[in-house]
Amino acid sequence: MSFDSTTMRLMGGVPGQQHFLYRTAEAIGAVGASGYFNNAVEEYNLASGDIVLAVSGFGVLAVLDALVVTVSGGNATASPLA
C-alpha cells in the first residue's frame, strides 16, 4: 500500500506548524519510511516541522504515533516525535 490522501485531514496550523491526522491499515514502519508522504508535500503543502498523528494498523491493532516531518527536495520523511 501507499499514501492515501483520502484518509489524511488537516487539523490546523500553518506550513511548518501544521497538524494532521492520518489513518491507515499499514504498519507504522511503512508510514515512517522515507518518501511515504511525498504526495502530501504537494497535496497538503506538507513542510518540515509539521506534525502527523498517525493511526496505523486500524482494523487489526490500532496504534497512535506522533511523527515530525522533514522535507528536502520534495522528499518527505516522517520520524517519531521524541
pLDDT tens per residue across span 1-41:
689 999 999 999 998 899 999 999 888 889 989 999 999 99
The rounded Cα 63 to chain-centroid distance in angstroms is 14
Query: What 3-state DSSP class applies to 9?
Result: strand
pLDDT tens per residue across span 31-71:
989 999 999 999 999 999 999 999 988 767 888 999 999 99
- Rg, C-alpha atoms of the chain: 11
Whole-angstrom distance, CA of residue 15 vs CA of residue 64: 22
The residue count of the chain comes to: 82
pTM above 0.85?
Answer: yes
